[in-house]
Every structure is written in C-alpha cells, then in structure tokens.
Structure 1
C-alpha cells in the first residue's frame, strides 16, 4: 500500500513538472529583454513616487499622478507579458491586441531620445528657480515633458514587444483661446455614451465646423474649434445644454469625441456659435493626431445631447 502511494505521489510530481512550459531560445531572449524593461520601469515608478510625495496638491502633483498611472500600466503590461510567455497564463488587463512593429519601434525610440533631451532641458531650467511663479511654471513644464516621455515609452513597448495596447482615457482638458468670449470649461475627450434615445438626442442641435486651429502655447499645445449649432430640434429656449461633440470622417466613422457644454442661452430657430473651444493636444494619441491633421472639409460633426436646462427652470435628460 505504501509502495503504491509513493508511486502515485511520484506520478503527480512528474505530471506537475511536465505542465511547466519549456521556453524556446527566442522566448528566453524575449523574457530577458522584457525583464530589463520591467526593472527600468519599476525604478522609474519608485523615483516618481518619491517626487510625488514632495507635493501636497496642485497641478504638478496632478501631472505626477497621471505619470504614475501610465508607468504602473507599463509595469503591469510587462509583468503580464512575461507571465504569459513563461506559463501560458491569460492576460488579465483589458486591452486591444497588437503585433510587434519593428519599424514603428525604431521610430519611437528615436522620438524617445529627442524627448529625453527635452526632459533634461526642462529639468535644468526648473533647477534655476527656487520658487515664485516662474519657478512653478518651469516645474510644470518639466512634469509635462516627463508625462510625454512616459506615454511615448508605453507606445514603444507596445510596438517593440507586441504588448496589448491599453485603452487609456485621453488626458486632455478643454481650453479657450486667449481673448475669447467663452470661459474655460473642464472636461476630457471620451467615447460618446450609448443612449436609449440616441437618435433623438442627436437631432436637437445640428453642428457645423466653422474653423479649426492648432495653437502652440508655453508648455502645452491645443486644438481649438469654432462650431455653429442650429437648434432645429430644440422645443423651447434653453439656458444651458450639456453633451458630446462627435467628429467623424466623411463616411460617418467616429474618430474623436469631446465633452462640450454650451453655457449660453440657446433659442429655437436661432443659430448659436461657440468659438475657441477645444482640447489639450497629445502628439502620441492617434485620435488627437487625426483631429489636428485632418482638413476641416473632411470632417463631419454631430452633437449628442445628454441634458438640457431650460430657461423656465425645467430640465430634460437623455441618458437616464
């Protein structure tokens, strides 16, 4: 009996050993390269956490928090890729599958080298100040350059190793051109929400793009829009309208969407124009590139209303 038990235990052990995946020479080399990338990423995460601890709030801390999120996403993708190669385990981060693209990886590596130089220059500039407004702006500028580098590195890892591409929300805010009558409003580009009464919500305001402008400012670039809204489906005077401006190509395929709140009165039958309203541009996000580079004549717009606040005090919501 004891002999049989020993044989069973031995068989189970051999079976467990046999389940372990044997890596090919190519896979071993890939794991080694991925671990090198992981080690560098973890060191950058630790350094950023130390920097982040020095600030209690404000724009600089917000930018560092964004960079930490990007770096930790990079770390998770690398760890899961290594684990997947070594054990065949399923990747658990919600992603879009990609293939390795050596040409793009090479191009991104060159861009990273240029961006690292920008980071060094920005850090050197920030070190010249001990405080004050100029010093704060210099620190913000350096943080912005580091954020761009973190996102660029993420795209490089995706291209070089065929990692799954994380679906991160675009880190953008609405802004207003200097001197514009429209006040700044916070928000971020997003995928248009799916509404039960989607068709109706898109028939209230007809949107037409009048002008598109790319503007380079001190520490951040922006894309601004001038849009005319024709309230053809508005039933009564509105005090404010909240919704999503959706940009599509000529075939109607959605390419970009941005939260857009009209904070001025809109009257039925009277065209309303909004000027100097846009988003913070990030050169490493494809939808941002499309919005900046595409000729306005090759863009189609539609405005999906989420809610209306009428001048008589009543309101109407479309996504509840």
Structure 2
C-alpha cells in the first residue's frame, strides 16, 4: 500500500521533494499547500495533486501518512507540531527551527504523538560525500588531522525570498542557512559532535527595500569531541562561487566538490577518484525516511541530531558577540530533547 504525502510550502525546494516522491516506489503525492494560491495551484498542476492555501485544511481533509515541510524557518515549529498532532510523519527541511528551544518542542511533540521525524540535513546523501567518508574510514591516507570547509556564493540576491534577510524569520544569515550544511557534514564525516566554537562574522549585506539584519559572512573554528579541528569559511557578498571541502591527513590530502568529484593526493598531486553512478540525494533521503515510516529502518537525521546542529550555530553567534571560544555541553546524547 502506498505511503501518501502532503507537501507544505510551494517554493523551489518543494519541487525537488516532489520529483523525489515521483521517483521513489510506493509513494503517492496527494496535495500541496501554500499561502500563495497561485504557487500552490501551479505546483499541484505540475505534479497532478490537489492544492490548498492552508496546510491545516490539507492535512485534515487529505489525511496524508506523511508531510514534507518546506516553509520559511520561522514557521517550522508550528507546522511540525500541528502535523505531529494529526498523526503525520514529518520530513522537515533544515534548519530544524529558529533555535534549540523550538527544536525541543518539535521533538517532544513527535515523541508524544509517536510519529517519525527526519530533518533534511542532506549532506550524507551526496555521492561525493559518501565517497569521502569511505576514504576516511579506510585509513589509507593515515590519520585525519583537520578539515577546511569553504562555501562562497552570492547570498543577497533578488531571487532569494526576502524573509531570508530578516533575523526574526530566518534565525540568522549565511551561517545559519549554509553553516548548517557544514556542521552536518563535519559531524557526519567524523562520526562525532562539535565541542567548542570560535566565530567571527560581518553584517554588511544590503538589499533594496529590506532592512537586512543577518550576517553576510562567517569564519568558524571548531573543535570536535574526537580532537580533530575544522574551519568553516562562509561568504555571501560579491564572490567567486566556491564550495570545497579539504581533508588533511598524516599521509595525504583529499578534496571534495559537490557536483564535480573527489580528489586524493598521496604525493603532492591530486588525482581524481573514480566515481559511481549519481543518485539524487533527495531520492536517497526520501527512500531512507519511507523505510523508517514503514518500520523497516531507523531515521538517520533525527530531531536530536538536527538540534545538535542548531546548538553549534547558536554557540557560533554567541562566540561572535562575546569575542571568545564557546564550549558546548559535554555528552549531548541524541536521545535528549
């Protein structure tokens, strides 16, 4: 029997999820909801579903088995809690919520209502990152001693929805939005958590007609519980786009670029690693989640995992404000709300 799906939010990322729904066997999209009636109708027409302007009406009328929430960050908690109360399993776009307090409320509601929750931290589903993790675990390059993560791309663009530039709605700027990917990737590659953060940010973003109050760049230096340090460089001004992860080992280096490949150096020269067939990370993510919904597996990107990423980001903002290293609570277990 098919698992039925309702999509909440009709933005660009909703398209990615609906394409994945079509590609995963045993899934059926029932409806899409967005406060913008025209957007909801266009999305529904493209994917042959019903459209709603209120996700509450959609859930109560269509009673989907699961929902995919792709709303602005400040609406995540309300939509997730409501969906859980209606008995819907939830795939929630990242970041999980505006802050750890909201994350805790979502986790509590999910547990009380006995539904599954996955947060869309999608880094582990990119083939390049999966290849990189295999190389790390094989140990052929020796011990991993540090990671340098760089993400530069124009952030303050006309195409980006205006709410991204308001702290009260986005929870932060490029550090919150893209830094979440970086923290997720580092914690997953190393199978550990961040223990300390030192950060510096700038607030120089401008966009006509918007009172921008989110950061446009950030430099984070982090320590992990395994003792391996990492740096994260993020810039959203007029930059040359760049997305590179460099891993430095005792016997070599590795470079990872999403959409381009993985390179390894054992003698001072990079050589490209043979690639395997690429599968959409959204398809991989949804496949894993559906297995969990059917009781055939466990959720890999759980609520507590996503909350741990928000904890690191909050520590980064605190570090910038105070001008000093900030330590995170030790032994942050994933079974804690």
TM range (shorter): under 0.3
Structure with bigger RCO (C-alpha 8 Å, 6+ apart)? 2
Higher share in helix? 1
Instruction: Report the TM-score, using the length of structure 2 for normalisation.
Output: 0.25
Instruction: Report the TM-score, using the length of structure 1 for normalisation.
Output: 0.26
Q: Who wins on radius of gyration, i.e. which is larger?
A: 1
